[in-house]
A = this chain, B = another copy of it.
Amino acid sequence: MSKARLETLSDGVFAIAITLLVLTISAPTDYRDLGAQLIAKWPSLAAYVVSFFVVGVMWLNHHSVFANFARVDRPLYYLNLAVLLTVVLVPYPTGILGEALRRDQGTTVAALAYSGLMAVQSYCWAALWLYASAGRRLLGDSFPEAGRRPATLAFTSGTVLYTLTIGVAFVSAGACLVVHALLALYYAIDPLSRRAQPSE
């Protein structure tokens, strides 16, 4: 099992999933009033931007995490496949959330679907990290032992945070989208998660 080829497959899936997000913005149907139709689609555009950012940050973290692995094995391949399964699904609730916000119908259910998928995703990530880092199973020598505990904390706290977004979905679908953007921002700049990376 080559680590390089696994990273290549993952990169391919990330690149395609992020690109398929464009299909989540439904085509206009009435061209006589195109301006109003397009403006009304701003929730779809917002959901597109948030999901693009979320997947982009996740790809970077995927890169950071795998840079610390000295090798990969079959169980890691399947745990990674579970992560990818949730990444590929992202366009689905993204499209629904944007459309529900536009129609102002079913927003709570749509936000629940979005948060639910993100929560499952965080569980898959935590499982992947716990498997790979336990007893330094797949970690390379360049990864400092002191960084293992904070990284594990980051991944497990992620499962809690994303589970809590399910609660936010009940409050407001718009707030839910904002929270997911903020969480992605946190993971984009958080020094804790960066500590888990090799020096750049």
Please state the number of chain copies in the assembly. 4
Stretch at the interface among A88-96, A125-133, A143-151, A154-162: A88-96
Determine which of B34, B52, B81, B105 lies in contact with A110 in the assembled complex, contact meaning CB atoms within 8 Å.
Answer: B34
Chain B proximity of A26: nearest CB distance (Å): 8
Chain A contact surface mostly: helix
B18 touching A14, Cβ below 8 Å: no
Answer yes or no: A118 CB below 8 A from chain B CBs. no
Q: Flag A71-105 by CB within 8 Å of B: 1 or 0 each.
A: 10110011001001100110110011001100101
Determine which of B31, B99, B100, B110 lies in contact with A100 in the assembled complex, contact meaning CB atoms within 8 Å.
Answer: B31
- If the complex has contacts A2-B63, A85-B49, A103-B31, are A16 and B14 also in contact, measured as CB distance less than 8 A? no
Chain B proximity of A135: nearest CB distance (Å): 18
Q: What CA separation (Å) do A95 and B31 show in the bound complex?
A: 12
Question: Which residues of chain B have C-beta atoms less than 8 A from A69's C-beta?
Answer: none
Q: What CA separation (Å) do A67 and B5 show in the bound complex?
A: 11
B34 touching A105, Cβ below 8 Å: yes
Q: Flag A11-22 by CB within 8 Å of B: 1 or 0 each.
A: 111111111111
Answer yes or no: A42 CB below 8 A from chain B CBs. no
A91 touching B9, Cβ below 8 Å: no
Question: Which residues of chain B have C-beta atoms less than 8 A from A110's C-beta?
Answer: 31, 34
Listed from nearest, the 7 A-B pairs whose CB atoms lie closest are A34-B106, A12-B15, A31-B105, A16-B19, A31-B106, A34-B109, A35-B109
Q: A residues engaging B (CB < 8 A)?
A: 1-2, 5, 7-9, 11-23, 25, 27-28, 31-35, 38, 48-49, 52-53, 56, 59-60, 63, 67, 71, 73-74, 77-78, 81, 84-85, 88-89, 91-92, 95-96, 99-100, 103, 105-106, 109-110, 113, 188, 200
